[in-house]
Structure 1
Amino acid sequence: MNPPVVLTIAGTDSGGAAGIAADLTTFAALGVHGACVVAAVTAQDTTGVRAIHPVPLDVVAAQLDAVLEDLDPVAVKTGMLGTPEVVRLVAERCAGRILVVDPVLVATSGAVLADDSVVQAYRQHLLPVATVITPNEEEFLALGEPDHAGVIVTRGGDIDTTNDHGTGCTHSSALAAHLAHGATIPIAAERAAAYVSQQLHLGKNWTLGRGRGPVAHIQGEHS
């Protein structure tokens, strides 16, 4: 049988820890086919975000149309969207599907990834059509509690490690994958949390990079 298709609309991470890199590896690990729309290109590593380049709206729209018209994804997961125009586009085109919104507003390093116009676009357009929202605590406070969707506040779990760059992306991608497989929101949330804990444990002693290292996106024990 064909695997479910899940689409991520997010930014790149040149360090391979978060964003689309985390999303696609998580999708593959959990048995769904991942498609992607690049909404922003970032220059970042384990120490922080160096530069952000939002992808032009027409290019985002063209990518989105290509995936929606051909692969008809069961679920859509959003990450860093970059501009209020892209937030509105996603709300318009993806309403009615399983929609997991990870409102990427603040990076693990503390870098601000979205201004107030993007926050307002989330509140007015995207949150009302979301199936579930996965903010971290800072994002939850910035957005305010929504009235229209389930909310799961992302935390890093109780694993003692600094290798947690990409935890939020991994969590929301795992949630979308389990929802695409037909799980209810509570069960999908439980399974996503367990997956993140497993991957944090796997990479807890890694020494990749000079800052907060990546959450593991490999399977099994590797030396």
Structure 2
Amino acid sequence: MTPRTALTIAGSDSGGGAGIQADLRTFFACGVHGLVSLTAVTVQNSLGVQGFTEIPADVVTAQIKAVATDMGVDAAKTGMLATAEIIRAVAKTLDEVHIGQRTGVPFVVDPVAASMTGHALLREEALDAIRTELFPRATLVTPNLDEVRLLTGISVTDPVSQRAAAEALLGFGSAWVLVKGGHMENAADCVDLLSDGREFIELSGPRYDTENTHGGGDTLASAITASLAKGADVPAAVSEGKRFIERCVAESYALGKGVGPVSPFWRLKD
């Protein structure tokens, strides 16, 4: 039986822990067929990103059109988009192939804008393009707290500021927002906040004592996208994605001299 399809529009990680590599292995583990539009080739390992080469915007969009017009896309997500030019081109192409909240095909924006240490990865022009071009088309956006700060200026330190951040992000036009709480300091649990402006749903999970969390954000967004591709609504998809990433973090492993990856291998064992 032909599985549902999920498209990732993202960069490649030469270390295999994040980017399209994490997206594709998550799609596989969650039972959907992965499609790819490559946006950048990064030079990175467990110690960090040493550099990247962006793919021309017309090549990025040609990849989207090729798979969408032939194989069909049941849900899509973005990761690293590198430049404002690529972001604007992707947004225009999504409209052309009828992907996004305006068309009914779920679209998840993982606004990759900050490194693991919180440093900005995108210039302000690109951040603005994410706000104005991607968010209004998004079914769901999934920023971490450093990305929330870059996108809204709000530093999330507690549940009150987390809710304020969700409201600010929704002002950019997405249908739902998931403010991830994994980086919140001095919090006993990992509490993510999901909201559409009417409902505010707290999703609590355990906080594991591990530094090996590379690719965690990509993996969560991909698991959610896979669930949406299979027909789940947003709260159910996010809840399923949350359970998936918890197991991935619990079974993460050391690899290299720096930060190791989260692991979806548990799904194979199960």
Using structure 1 for the length normalisation, give the TM-score.
0.93
Whole-angstrom distance in 2 between the partners of 1:135 and 1:107: 12
Whole-angstrom distance in 1 between the partners of 2:93 and 2:57: 13
Which residue identity lines up with residue 217 of structure 1 in the other structure? Answer: P
Whole-angstrom distance in 2 between the partners of 1:125 and 1:69: 22
**2:210 match:** 161
**Greater radius of gyration (CA):** 2
Give how far 1:146 is off: 3.1
- Residues 6 and 35 of structure 1 are in contact (CA less than 8 Å); yes or no, is this contact kept in structure 2? yes
Matched, 1:12 2:46: no
**1:43 match:** 43
CA shift in 2, pair 1:208/1:221, >3 Å: farther
- Residues 37 and 64 of structure 2 are in contact (CA less than 8 Å); yes or no, is this contact kept in structure 1? yes
What are the equivalent positions in structure 2 for 1:1-223 lying under 5 Å apart? 1-94=1-94, 95=100, 96=103, 97-144=105-152, 145-147=169-171, 148-149=173-174, 150-156=176-182, 157=190, 158-203=207-252, 206-219=253-266
- Residues 22 and 217 of structure 1 are in contact (CA less than 8 Å); yes or no, is this contact kept in structure 2? no
SS in structure 2 of the partner of residue 80 of structure 1 = coil
Q: Which protein, 1 or 2, shows the higher relative CO under an 8 Å CA cutoff with sep ≥ 6?
A: 1
Which residue identity lines up with residue 238 of structure 2 in the other structure? Answer: A
- Residues 224 and 240 of structure 2 are in contact (CA less than 8 Å); yes or no, is this contact kept in structure 1? yes
Whole-angstrom distance in 2 between the partners of 1:159 and 1:114: 29
Using structure 2 for the length normalisation, give the TM-score.
0.78
Which residue identity lines up with residue 37 of structure 1 in the other structure? Answer: S
Whole-angstrom distance in 2 between the partners of 1:67 and 1:154: 31
- Residues 247 and 264 of structure 2 are in contact (CA less than 8 Å); yes or no, is this contact kept in structure 1? no
CA shift in 2, pair 1:221/1:37, >3 Å: closer
Whole-angstrom distance in 1 between the partners of 2:2 and 2:150: 39
- Residues 23 and 218 of structure 2 are in contact (CA less than 8 Å); yes or no, is this contact kept in structure 1? yes
User: Alignment length, in residue pairs?
Assistant: 220
Q: Deviations over 1:13-36 (max 9, x none)?
A: 011000000000000000100000
**2:160 match:** none
Q: RMSD of the TM alignment (CA)?
A: 1.6
Unaligned runs of 5+ in 1: none
SS in structure 1 of the partner of residue 254 of structure 2 = coil
Give how far 1:141 is off: 2.0
Q: Deviations over 1:42-78 (max 9, x none)?
A: 1011111100111111211221111111111011110
- Residues 227 and 237 of structure 2 are in contact (CA less than 8 Å); yes or no, is this contact kept in structure 1? yes
- Residues 48 and 109 of structure 1 are in contact (CA less than 8 Å); yes or no, is this contact kept in structure 2? no
Whole-angstrom distance in 2 between the partners of 1:18 and 1:219: 17
Q: Deviations over 1:107-147 (max 9, x none)?
A: 21445321111101011111011000000011112222232
Q: Deviations over 1:139-189 (max 9, x none)?
A: 112222232221112344411111100000000000000111111111111
Q: Deviations over 1:178-202 (max 9, x none)?
A: 1111111111111101100101111
SS in structure 2 of the partner of residue 177 of structure 1 = helix
Whole-angstrom distance in 1 between the partners of 2:120 and 2:49: 9
Whole-angstrom distance in 1 between the partners of 2:251 and 2:8: 24
Which residue identity lines up with residue 146 of structure 1 in the other structure? Answer: L
Unaligned runs of 5+ in 2: 95-99, 153-168, 183-189, 191-206
